[in-house]
Amino acid sequence: MTTHSTKQIFSRIAKSAGLAAAALVMAGSAWAGFSVSGTQLLDANGNNFIIRGVNHPHTWYTQQTGAFADIAATGSNAVRVVLSNGHRWNRNSASDVANVITLCKNNKLICVLEVHDATGGGEEGAADSIANVANYWVDIASVLKGQEDFVIINIANEPIGNSQTDEKWTNEHRDAIQTLRNAGLTHTLLIDASNWGQDWQEVMLKHASQVAAADSLSNTMFSVHMYQVYQNRNTIENYVSSFLSTHNLPLIIGEFGADHQGEFVDAESILAVAEQYGIGYMGWSWSGNGGCCTSLDMVNNFNANDLTSWGDRLINGANGIRETSEPASVFGAASTSSSSSSSTSTSSTSSSSSSSSSSSSSGGGVCVEMCKWYNDDPRPLCENQDNGWGYENNQSCIGRTTCSNQNNGNGGIIDVCSGSSSSSSSSSSSSSSSSSSSSSSSSSSSSSSSSTSSSSSSSSSSSSSGGSSSSSSSSSSSSSSSSSSSSSSGGDTGEVVADILINNDWGGGYCASVVVENTGSSVVSWDVAIAIEGQVSSLWNAKWSQSGSTLLLQGVAWNATLQPGEMNSSAGFCANR
Average pLDDT of the segment spanning 301-310: 96
- Above 50 in pLDDT, residue 280? yes
Nearest Cα to 335, choosing from 345, 326, 343? 326
Domain 496-576 carries which CATH code? 2.60.40.290
Closest residue by Cα to residue 224 from 188, 198, 200: 198
Q: What angle do CA 367, 463, 525 make, to 5 degrees?
A: 100
* Catalytic-role residue among 124, 158, 237, 517: 158
- At residue 224, the pLDDT reads 98
Is 158 a residue of the active site?
yes
Phi-psi map region of 321: left, alpha, beta (phi>0 left; psi -120 to 50 alpha) = alpha
pLDDT at 348 over 60: no
Distance, in Å, from the CA atom of 147 to the CA atom of 36, rounded to the nearest integer, reads 17
Write down the pLDDT at residue 325: 97
Task: Return the DSSP state at 14.
Answer: P
Helices 309-316 and 267-277: crossing angle in degrees, nearest 10, is 20
Top pLDDT among 224 and 494 is at 224
Percent over 90 (pLDDT), the chain: 53
Q: CB–CB of 527/495 below 8 Å?
A: no
**DSSP one-letter string for 55-90:** EE-GGG-TT-TTHHHHHHHTT-SEEEEEE--SSSSP
The CB density around residue 16, as the number of other CB atoms within 10 Å, is 12
Instruction: Please tell me what DSSP assigns to residue 434.
Output: -
Residue 467 has pLDDT above 50, yes or no: no
* pLDDT value for 31: 58
pLDDT for 192-226, tens place per residue? 999 999 999 999 999 999 999 999 999 999 999 99
Strand partners, 154: 114, 190
Q: Where are the domains of the chain?
A: 35-330, 367-415, 496-576
Cα–Cα distance for residue pair 454/519, rounded to 1 Å: 13
pLDDT of 353 > 80? The answer is no
Length of the chain: 577
220-226 and 251-256 beta bridge pairing: parallel
399 vs 126, higher pLDDT:
126
Range of weakest confidence among 67-81, 82-96, 546-560: 546-560
Q: Which of 163-167, 371-375, 526-530 has the lowest mean pLDDT?
A: 371-375
CATH number of 367-415: 2.30.32.30
pLDDT given at position 299: 97
Give pTM, 2 decimals: 0.58
Catalytic residue among 124, 148, 237, 255: 255
d(CA 514, CA 441): 17
pLDDT of residue 398: 79
* Closest CA relative to residue 104, chosen from 417, 330, 388: 330
State the pLDDT at residue 533: 92
According to the model, what pLDDT value does residue 30 have? 52
- What pLDDT does 376 receive? 58
Residue 27 has pLDDT above 70, yes or no: no
- Give the architecture-level CATH label for domain 35-330: Alpha-Beta Barrel (3.20)
Please classify residue 507 by burial: count the beta carbons closer than 10 Å to its beta carbon, then call 0-12 exposed, 13-18 middle and 19+ buried.
Answer: exposed
Residue 531 has pLDDT above 60, yes or no: yes
User: What percent of the chain has pLDDT above 70?
Assistant: 71
Cis peptide before 428 (omega within 30 of 0): no
pLDDT band (50, 70, 90) for residue 284: very high
The phi and psi torsions of 29 (rounded to 5 degrees) equal -85, 165
Q: What is the DSSP letter of 521?
A: S
> What confidence tens digit (pLDDT) does each residue in 35-64 have?
999 999 999 999 999 999 999 999 999 999
Query: Which residues, other chains included, contact 376 with Cβ-Cβ below 8 Å and sequence gap of 6+?
Result: 21, 38, 39, 40, 244, 248, 411, 503
Residue 547's contacts (CB-CB under 8 Å, 6 or more residues apart) are: none
Mean pLDDT of all residues in 387-411:
68
Q: Is the pLDDT of residue 418 over 60?
A: no
* More confidently predicted of 527 and 391: 527
Please state the rounded mean pLDDT for residues 83-109: 97
Q: Please tell me whether residue 270 adopts helix, strand or coil conformation.
A: helix
Question: Is the pLDDT assigned to residue 154 strictly greater than 50?
Answer: yes
